């Protein structure tokens, strides 16, 4: 489904998600949605425009008013696409092409150590680093942040 990212972006906003929930129970005009949500009609119109462009909201002219509903088939396609993504299995580990070409660099490191594909370690509390890089933590900072310095998640595991 090529338009899945656009649909997910449309649904990611809290107000738009609430509009979808309301429109799944009843067809509403812009004014009724504005009253339910406690926001202006102009704001509701902008949200509905995004939902329409994503193919999720359908307008229907009734007399002077335009009432909106949700395209349940389209919403079901989004759910199915997400289920398909979640069901994907890992067939092989990602191997960076640079990892197969390991050579010594001038500073004694292997070329593969500088691979940009390698995931960088994440610090659980980056706000506590105070301008330092994760590998530059003092033992006191590591104890304060993570407990046992031997299990420091900011450092990469040494190769065996």
pLDDT tens digits along 56-91: 999 999 889 999 999 999 999 999 999 998 888 766
Q: Is the pLDDT of residue 103 over 80?
A: no
* Ranges for all domains in the chain classified under CATH 1.10.10.10: 4-83
For residue 75, the model assigns a pLDDT of 94
Q: Tell me what the mean pLDDT of segment 123-152 comes to.
A: 64
For residue 2, the model assigns a pLDDT of 74
Angle between helices 4-12 and 41-53 (to 10 degrees): 160
For residue 4, the model assigns a pLDDT of 87
**What's the half-sphere exposure (Cβ side, CA atoms, 13 Å) at 63?**
1
Q: What is the CATH number of domain 4-83?
A: 1.10.10.10
């Amino acid at each position: 489904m090529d338009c899945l990212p656009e649909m997910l972006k449309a649904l990611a906003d809290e107000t738009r998600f609430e509009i979808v929930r309301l429109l799944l129970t009843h067809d509403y005009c812009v004014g009724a949605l504005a009253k339910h949500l406690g926001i202006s009609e102009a704001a509701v119109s902008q949200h509905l425009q995004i939902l329409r462009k994503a193919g999720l909201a359908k307008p229907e002219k009734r007399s002077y008013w335009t009432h909106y509903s949700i395209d349940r088939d389209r919403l079901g396609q989004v759910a199915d696409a997400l289920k398909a993504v979640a069901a994907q299995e890992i067939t092989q580990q990602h191997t960076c092409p640079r990892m197969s070409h390991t050579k010594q660099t001038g500073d004694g490191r292997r070329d593969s150590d500088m691979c940009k594909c390698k995931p960088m370690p994440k610090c659980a509390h980056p706000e506590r680093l105070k301008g330092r890089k994760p590998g530059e933590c003092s033992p006191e900072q590591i104890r304060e942040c993570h407990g046992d310095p031997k299990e420091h998640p900011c450092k990469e595991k040494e190769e065996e």
